[in-house]
Structures are given as C-alpha cells and as structure tokens.
C-alpha cells in the first residue's frame, strides 16, 4: 500500500497547468514498457485499445475480470504510476471499483459521463454522486487516487453547438466539486474554447491529442495540464501492421535496407 500511496502522489504532482503530463496510452505490458523507455513518467491505458487487444470491443464489452487483469499486467510491468481508463465503471459500485483498481496496482482512473452502450449523457447529479463515491472509497482505502472526469458534451454533440462549452464547464465544475482532480472535455479542440474552459474551471484540464487539435506546445500555452492520445497509438500500430501484411502478401520487402526482422 505504501508504494501505491507514493505512486498516486507522483501521478498527482505531474498534473501541472502549462507543463502538461503527456500520456501516450498503452494497451499491454509491451506498449507500456515502450512508453516508459521513451521517457514518459506515467502510463495510461486506453479502454478501446485494451478491449481490442483482448478480442473485445470498446463500450464496456470486455468482461470486467479481464479488464482488471490487463491493467494489473501493465502496472506490474512498469515502475511508474498507472492510470486506467474504466469507461463509466462497468457497473461496479464505487467501493468495488476502487478495491479492484488498487489491487491491480493502478493509482488513477478515467471515468466518462455518458453511457458507453447508449451514448446518452448521464444525469450530472448522478455522475457527481458516482465520482464522490469513488473519492470516498479511495479515502477509506488510504490512497489518494487521481480521478480524471471525462466530459462527453462535445463527443456526443449534446444540444446546440453554441451551448456546448457552457454545458461542459457546468459539468466540469460539478465533477470537480464532487472530488475529481482533473476534467477531460473530450473532443474539445478549438484553442479559444480550451483557453476559456481552463480559465473557467480553474483546475487541471485533460485534452485529447488528435488531428485538428492544437499541437502539444500550444496546449501547454493554453494552460492544459494533461494530454492523452487515447487509442491513437494502437490504431497507428495496427495500420502499420496491416500495411506490412499487404506488402508481405504481395511479395514486397517490408524492412528498410540494413534492417533485419527480429
């Protein structure tokens, strides 16, 4: 437990507005080790990447035991803090969620505020209650879990476009008051909107790195505290493999000159 407390504190300290924690999300021990070898100080999982690597689909289709076993393998493979993408909690009560997360060796989690099956946004009061329950369960366990609250207003195209930033701010504030440490307005990409949300919430903000979003240096200048890559690396690795397989099937050379197959 002492090591979990240390890792949780280390993960929390890495959330610095203007000097963001960058998280190229992993999906198995090998990818997690690669993240650490590249010099990153923490590892985050991607629910979509983990699910597909295990033969399932995203949207809480992965059996919960398999999910936490995958998180445990990743956490055991690296000497840095691990935060796990738990979608909306897989229907677990907060106490069980925290117990299983800590048993897996992770010290942070990402919780989204829409139903992964119906894609409907959750009631803000119910979501705040879930987050408060997770915070209370972590406190009871003696580990200051780092809780990242995803805000799905833009992902789900909720309401008129002109009102989405206001709704994202409203939800973010409510989740922070319930005990979240960081808010994650996924798919929020406009620089001025990001700047406005950062100013309005006054707490660490997580942004998804993707095509069309500001570059990491610009996100830092906007005051972002955490940058996630979601399933992007996994998708890129899969695309590279598909291309190599097509080349192999065609009888082409797939390794650069001088490079040997492992």
Among left, alpha and beta (phi > 0; psi -120 to 50; other), residue 230 is: left
Helix (H, G, I), strand (E, B) or coil at 154: coil
Mean pLDDT, range 31-53, rounded to an integer: 98
**pLDDT interval class at 94 (50, 70, 90):** very high
- Residue 58: predicted pLDDT: 94
Q: Which two tokens stand for residue 65?
A: 């035991």
Average per-residue pLDDT for the chain: 95
Among left, alpha and beta (phi > 0; psi -120 to 50; other), residue 160 is: beta
**Domain spans of the chain?**
2-234
Residues of the chain above pLDDT 90, percent: 92
Q: How many CA atoms lie within 13 A of 172 on its CB side?
A: 28
**pLDDT interval class at 260 (50, 70, 90):** low
pLDDT tens for each residue of 191-220: 999 999 999 999 999 999 999 899 999 999
- Residue 258: predicted pLDDT: 54
**pLDDT interval class at 162 (50, 70, 90):** confident
Rounded distance, CA 45 to CA 77, Å?
13
**pLDDT interval class at 159 (50, 70, 90):** confident
Q: Which two tokens stand for residue 134?
A: 């997770």
CATH of 2-234, one of 3.10.310.10, 1.20.1090.10, 3.40.50.970, 3.20.20.60: 3.20.20.60
C-alpha distance from residue 83 to each of 26, 74, 255 (Å): 10, 10, 35
Place of tokens 């309005």: 200
Q: Which two tokens stand for residue 123?
A: 């009631």
Helix (H, G, I), strand (E, B) or coil at 35: helix
Q: Tally helices (H) and strands (E) across the chain.
A: 10, 8
- Residue 26: predicted pLDDT: 98
pLDDT of residue 253 exceeding 60, the answer is: yes
pLDDT of residue 262 exceeding 90, the answer is: no
pLDDT tens for each residue of 216-242: 999 999 999 999 999 999 999 999 999
Nearest 10 degrees: CA dihedral of 164, 114, 189, 109?
140
- Residue 254: predicted pLDDT: 86
Strand 82-85: give its sheet, edge to edge: 43-44, 82-85, 108-112, 146-151, 182-185
Threshold 0.75, pTM exceeds: yes
**pLDDT interval class at 43 (50, 70, 90):** very high
- Residue 261: predicted pLDDT: 53
């Amino acid at each position: 437990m002492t090591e979990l407390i240390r890792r949780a504190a280390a993960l929390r300290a890495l959330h610095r507005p203007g000097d963001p924690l960058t998280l190229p999300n992993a999906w198995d021990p090998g990818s997690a080790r690669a993240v650490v070898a590249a010099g990153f100080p923490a590892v985050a999982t991607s629910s979509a990447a983990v699910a597909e690597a295990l033969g399932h689909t995203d949207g809480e289709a992965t059996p919960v035991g398999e999910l936490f076993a995958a998180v445990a393998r990743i956490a055991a493979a690296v000497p840095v803090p691990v935060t796990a993408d738990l979608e909306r909690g897989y229907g677990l009560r907060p106490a069980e969620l925290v117990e299983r997360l800590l048993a897996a060796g992770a010290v942070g989690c990402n919780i989204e505020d829409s139903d992964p099956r119906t894609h409907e946004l959750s009631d803000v009061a119910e979501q705040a209650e879930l987050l408060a329950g997770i915070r209370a369960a972590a406190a009871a366990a003696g580990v200051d879990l780092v809780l990242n609250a995803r805000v799905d207003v833009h992902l789900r195209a909720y309401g008129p476009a002109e009102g989405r930033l206001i709704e994202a701010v409203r939800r973010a504030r409510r989740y922070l008051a319930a005990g979240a440490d960081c808010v994650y307005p996924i798919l929020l990409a406009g620089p001025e909107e990001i700047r406005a949300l950062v100013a309005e919430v006054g707490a660490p903000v997580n942004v998804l790195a993707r095509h069309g979003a500001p570059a990491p240096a610009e996100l830092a200048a906007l005051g972002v505290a955490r940058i996630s890559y979601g399933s992007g690396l996994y998708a890129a690795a899969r695309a590279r493999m598909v291309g190599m397989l097509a080349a192999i099937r065609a009888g082409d050379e797939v390794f650069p000159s001088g490079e040997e197959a492992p």
